Each structure stands twice: as C-alpha cells, then as structure tokens.
Amino acid sequence: MSDNQNMPITEDLFERVGIQKNRAEDLSKPALTYWADVWRRFRENKLAFLGLIILVLVIVVLYLGPLINGSDYQFINEIDRNQGPSMKHWFGTDTMGRDLFTRICHGGRVSILIGVMCTGVMFVFGSILGSIAGFKGGVVDDVIMRICEIVNNIPYLVLVIILSMVMGRSLFALVFAMSFLSWTGTTRMVRGQILQIKELDYVQASTALGGGTAHIIFKHLIPNTLGIIMVTITMSVPGFIFGEAFLSYIGLGIEAPATSWGALAAAGQERMMFYPHELFFPCLFMVLTILSFHLIGDGLSDALDPKLRK
Amino acid sequence: MLKFILKRVGFGVFTLFVIITLTFFIISAAPGDPIASKAELMPEKAQEVIRAKYGLDEPILTRYFLYLKNLITTGDFGESITYTGRTANQYIAKNAPISAKIGIMALLFQVVIGIALGMVAALKRGKVTDHVIRVCVVLAICIPSFVFAALLQYYIGFKWRLVPVQGWGKPSHYVLPVIAFAVGGIASYAKYMRSSVLSVVSEDYIVTAKAKGCMPGRVARKHMFRNSLLPIVTMTGPAIAGIFGGSFILEKMFSIPGLGRYYIKAVSDSDYTMVLGLTAFYAMLYVVSLIVVDITYGLVDPRIRIGKSAK
C-alpha cells in the first residue's frame, strides 16, 4: 500500500486511448446474472457465510464422522454404560452403552432429512396452490384462500399430535403429520408474489405468444418468486427439526433403535442430573444446525432484497 | 363493525365444526379397537357390554352425530376409555386453570419484555445494545424450550438450590416454568417488534412528526410504538389459546398438573375419547382467541374497520 503511494506519478505512465467507435457497445465487465449477484452479496455477509460453513461442517461430520470413529450406532455395550467423553467414545456413551457420537451422526441425518422433506412437501404444495390461486383469480382463488383460512384456524400442534398418534411412528408418518397443514403460509406468500408479477410485461408477452397456464406458472412465475421462497425454506427447516424433537419428546417420534436429535435430547434430559453430556452433545448439534439455518436465511433475505442491491 | 364480527363468528363456528369432524374421523380411522387392548382377556359378552356403554357398537356416523349432539346441547366433551368414570369436562375444569395461571404470567412477561427489547434494539439500531439484544434473541430462538428448561432445572434448581426443580403447590414452583415458558416468546416478540419498528421509522408520518418539532421520546411513544404494535397483535392470538392448553413439554418436565400434561398422557395412553374431547376444547379456545384478536385488530387499526363507512 505504502509502496504505491510513494511511487512518483509521471506523465508517461498515461496513454491516450481516444474514441474507439467499434467498441462502444462492449461490456467492460462480464454480465452478472441475478443469482450470481445474490451469491456475491451473500458471500459478503460474514454472518451468513459463517452459517453456511457451520452447516456444511455439521453435514460433513454427520456423514464422515462414523466412518472415522468406527463405532456402530446400534451396538449395545453392557459394560461401558453412561461413560463420559473419551478417545474411544468421543462424546461418551448412553445408558445402553451405545456410542453417543455415532448416534448423534445417525440421528442428525434423520432430523435434517425430516426437516428437508417436510419443507419440500410444504414448498411444493404451497407454491403450486399459491400460483394457481394468484394466477387464476376469481372463484378458484376464493376457494383456495378460504381453505387456507380454515386450515390456519386449526391448532397445528394438536393436529400433528393426533395424526402421528394415529399413523404410527414411521418416518413417512412423521413427515406427513408435520407437513399436512404447514403449507398455508407458503400459499399466501406465493399468491401475493404472483399477483404482483403477473401484471408485468414479460408474462403478458408470454400469454400473447400462446403460453398456457402451466407453462407460465412453471417457466415464469415460480422462478421469479423463488428468491422469497428460498428464504422461507431456510427458515422453516429449523421449525420442522424442532417439531420432530417435540414429537420425540412426548414419545411420538422416531422409534428405537433408529434415532434423531430430538429423541437423543429427550433421552438425555431424563438423565441430565447425573450425565449432563448425554443432553449437551445432541443439543449442541441441534443448536448449531438451527443457528446456521437462521443465519443463512437472514443473509439470503438481505441478499435477495432488491432495495439493498448496490 | 357488527357485520364484520358476525361474519367472523360464523366462520369461526364453521372452522370449529371442521376441526371436530376431522379429529373425530382421524381418530376413528386409527388402527386397532380402543376397547380390544383394554379388555382382551374379558369374555366376549363383557366386551360387548363395554362397547355398548361407549356406543362403539353403533356405526361411525351415528356415533359422530351423537357426539356432536352431546357437545352442543350439554357441553359434554366425552368420557375417558382408559379410566372409567373420568370425563374430559372434569379435567378441563380442574386442570385448565392451572395451565392458565402459568400461561398468563408467561405471556405477560413475553409481551412486555419482548416488546420493550425489540423497541430498544430498533431505536439503537447498529449500536452495541442492538447487537447484544440480537445475539441473545437468535440464541433464544435456536435453543429448544425443553433444553432451556433442563438448563434452568440443572443450575437454578439442582446446583444452586434456589427454587424447587419441579412440583406444584407453592409460589416458588412458578419460577422456573414461567421463565422457561417466557424465554422463547420474549425472543420472538423482540425480533418481530424490532423489524416492525424499523419498517415504520421511515414512514412519512414519522418524518412529519419530527419536522413539527416533536421530541424524540414522544415520537417513539406516540407514533412509532403504536403503529409498530399492529403486527404484534396478530401474534398474540394463538399465544392466548396456548396458555390454557399449556406447554405440553414444560408441564411434563416440571410435573405441573396442567391440561397439556393430561393431553399428552391421553395421547400416550391411546385414550381416544379423551384426546377427542380435549382437542375439541383446545380448538374452541383457539378459534375464540383468533376471533377476539381479529376484532381487536379492527379496533386498534382504524384503517381496517370493515363495514364502517369512512367519515
């Protein structure tokens, strides 16, 4: 820096370029697509980038950890019960002598999978219904919005409990119970977006060129609402991870010997007074993951906000 | 305004009907006969008597209409299958007030502290106070309530022995559950209040108020606070319903004999009639509080007073 300042600036360092008529239309900088710009601004946001790094690290640990550690998450060791962290058992063992680290890794896969699957169902249902309502308008819109209102008036948690009580404790049942009524928020949001977008010129142009409803919805409307949807997605994965933890806690979650963070935390909570590590480690992973999703979501919503675009 | 209220109430009643119907049929579709597991060893004749007592020998539609009729005419939510003679009404009368006591206290803390923190964070935007509040809020949102409750029990109750770890009856039993219940709510109220305040700071009326020479404190109180409060009102609706049902997990953790704990117990006992009764009660509370919130919203915000001609 100081070298540059000390360098004498002389006349011969500069050269007259003149007018180059044939290059006037050239772009001096490579064109930045919308998503490239979003990614650039996302990276500049240190907190959000930290969130992304934490999330990637957690996922890497979940999948590679058990390979390095070499323990089996279902192996019951009657002798090494409730042990603290050691070289052999990195996070100690649980009350049946199973290695806690590998259990956390396997449980984490289940927890994140549930979070992602529920969000996926929510997103697909919500955005399709929302686009139809927003695009078609009239009676269709009215019917869909009334259904949304009714569903919104149903106490969510209670219905999740009843559904999972009736359907059993499989992964599919859990995902179904949790995502069954979750799509109303997405529907409303997408509908609002579509109502704004559909009046824009490019949609009218597509209609004029003979594009059908499905074509316009999938080609134009959904891609253009994707930004806001992505923020909702990152913000709702933690919600579903919490939901699964809650269900595990009241005994409606994943069934043993399979496990999840919620189930591990619930089991750890019972023995918290004597073996705090059994609660601490599952919670640490859960908190880190949820924190990273929140940071990413915050960063995305800033990066996608056209008002903040420089 | 009256038309708006009538319309809202009508819609609420319809929703309630949908919820009860849905719950009834979902529970009826459950695999297994609730009597069979209980009375497996009984002779065939005795099983039939029990079935007839609960009306389980009738076709499902008859049962459904009978349940609706009882609910509407006598307010009968149903009787337990697992524990003979106990009715959902007894549980509601006895245990809902306990949940409500804790819930109301927690809700007060949530709203007051949450709104205050959000307001402070927004007014001090970008300063240290704001950052500290935001970090605390993110942490409180990311930590599940049962983990937080466990930490409270471990340190305050078990290590330092300041208040009892769990139990019910003495005033000191309130401390931990109320804190555990309130923390998550404080965080989300603070978060929404902050963004709500920030969204009104640049509104024209704030600029006008400042231009008129309004003192900053008065601008914050009279203009920012009142206008940013609106979105917060919608959040309190479900929360009000939640206080009677209690927090399912926390009541179990702290051994509080509230309604939420019995709900969970009914679920784990597969006590279908009890689950149905308590769900109906819970849904009723939920719908009523949503209606109340909608009407309050109309009162607080003159702009959306539907059905009233503009003056």
Q: Can you give the pLDDT at residue A307?
A: 57
Quote the radius of gyration of chain B (alpha carbons, Å).
24
**Phi, psi dihedral angles at A99 (to 5 degrees):** -70, 120
Contact yes or no for A245 and B144 at CB 8 A: yes
Contact A286, A105 (CB under 8 A): no
pLDDT at B40 over 80: no
User: Are the beta carbons of B290 and A153 separated by less than 8 Å?
Assistant: yes
pLDDT bucket at B308, cuts 50 / 70 / 90: very low
Query: Span A87-103, mean pLDDT?
Result: 74
- What is the pLDDT at residue A4? 58
Q: Alpha-carbon distance A194 to A132, whole Å?
A: 9
pLDDT-above-90 percentage for chain A: 3
- Residues in chain B with CB shorter than 8 Å from the CB of A111 are none
Minimum distance, in Å, between the CA of residue A79 and any CA atom of chain B: 27
Which pTM was predicted?
0.77
Q: Which of B105-114, B257-266, B289-298 has the highest mean pLDDT?
A: B105-114
State the residue for tokens 């399912």: B248
* One-letter amino acid for residue B15 of the chain: T
Can you tell me the mean pLDDT for B24-31? 76
Which pLDDT value is given to residue A56?
93
Measured distance CA(A107)–CA(A113) in Å, rounded: 10
Average pLDDT (B234-258) is 75
A233-256 pLDDT tens trace: 888 888 888 888 888 877 777 777
CA-atom Rg of chain A in angstroms: 26
pLDDT of B291 over the 70 cut: yes
Q: Helices B175-201 and B230-245: crossing angle, nearest 10°?
A: 160
Q: Which residues contact B64 (CB under 8 A, 6 or more apart)?
A: B21, B24, B25
Report d(CA B175, CA B182) in Å as an integer.
11
Residue B244: pLDDT band with limits 50, 70, 90: low
Determine which of B14, B267, B273 to mutate to test the interface with A (most A C-beta atoms within 10 Å): B267
Mutate to test the interface with A, among B14, B22, B146 (most CBs of A within 10 A): B146
Nearest to B138 among A153, A249, A294 (CB): A294
**Mean pLDDT (chain B, rounded):** 79
With contacts defined as CB-CB under 8 Å, which chain B residues touch A158?
245, 279, 282-283
- pLDDT tens digit sequence for A168-191: 777 888 888 888 878 888 888 888
What is the model's pLDDT at position B304? 57
Give every CB contact of residue B192 below 8 A, 6+ residues apart in sequence: B118, B231, B232, B235
Task: Read off the pLDDT of each residue in A274-287 and give the average, rounded to a whole number.
Answer: 83
Q: What CA–CA distances, in Å, run from B109 to A206, B116, B239, B271? A: 54, 10, 12, 35
- Residues comprising chain B, all counted: 311
Confirm or reject contact between B22 and chain A (CB < 8 A): yes
* Pair A100, A80: CB distance under 8 Å: no
Mean pLDDT in residue range B193-219? 85
Question: Tell me, what amino acid is at B98?
Answer: I
Average pLDDT over residues B209-221: 85
pLDDT at position B220 is 82
- Cα distance between residue B105 and residue A237, in whole Å: 30
Q: Among A305, A299, A169, A297, which Cα is nearest to A230's? A: A297
Look at residue B11 and tell me whether its pLDDT is greater than 90: no
Inter-chain residue contact B26 with A153, CB threshold 8 Å: no
SS3 label, residue A114: helix
Question: Taking an 8 Å Cβ-Cβ cutoff, which residues of chain A contact chain B?
Answer: 149-150, 153-155, 157-159, 161-163, 165-166, 168, 238, 242, 245-246, 249-252, 265-266, 269, 272-273, 276, 279, 283, 286-287, 290-291, 294-295
CA–CA separation, B116 and B253 (whole Å): 29
Question: Comparing A61-75, A76-90, A205-219, which segment has the lowest mean pLDDT?
Answer: A76-90
Question: Taking a C-beta distance cutoff of 8 angstroms, is the pair A114, A260 a contact?
Answer: yes
The answer, yes or no, to whether residue B113 has pLDDT greater than 90, is yes
* Mean pLDDT in residue range A100-105: 83
Cβ contacts of A287 on chain B, cutoff 8 Å: 142-143, 147
What per-residue confidence (pLDDT) applies to B303? 65
The string of pLDDT tens digits covering residues A44-60 is 888 888 889 999 999 99
Q: Does the pLDDT value for residue B136 go beyond 80?
A: yes
